[in-house]
Amino acid sequence: MLDLAKNNRADKFLFISSGAVYGTLDNSLSKVREDYTGNVDITNVRSCYAESKRIGETMCICWSHQYNLHVNMLRLSHTYGPVYRIK
């Protein structure tokens, strides 16, 4: 997708990432800043998802610098389906 954006001279590229890039959060943190590098346990069977999001973000930054591609990244966290209101 990044090559497609570059080759077609796209104005912008949007990458939908995930809060999983932070890995296991320290319980002492009340807020997580974007520059927090996180802690992903690579021996955990679920770590492949977090690592894939991290490499996706890394590739976006590389394309941004190498090809002057404007990249926006969103880290969605705890996003679920339709809203249900309890009355």
Q: Catalytic residue, from 22, 49, 67, 84: name it.
A: 49
67 assigned to active site: no
Nearest-angstrom CA–CA distance, 1 and 4: 5
In three-state secondary structure terms, 35 is coil
> What six digits make up the tokens of 86?
């309890």
Residues serving a catalytic function are 49
